[in-house]
Amino acid sequence: MRSFFFVITGLFVMALAVWAYRQNYETQASLREVAQLRSEISGLRERAGVLRAEWAYLNRPERLADLADINFDSLGLLPLRPDHFGHIDQITYPIEPLPPIMVPVEVMSRLGANQ
| pLDDT at residue 35, rounded to an integer | 97
Note the pLDDT of residue 20: 95
In which residue ranges of the chain is pLDDT below 70?
110-115
pLDDT at 65: 85
Q: How far apart are CA 98 and CA 25, in angstroms?
A: 69
The full set of domain ranges for the chain reads 1-69
pLDDT at 59: 93
- Do 75 and 68 contact (CB within 8 A), yes or no? yes
- Per residue in 4-19, pLDDT tens? 899 999 999 999 999 9
CA pseudo-torsion sign 82, 85, 86, 91:
negative
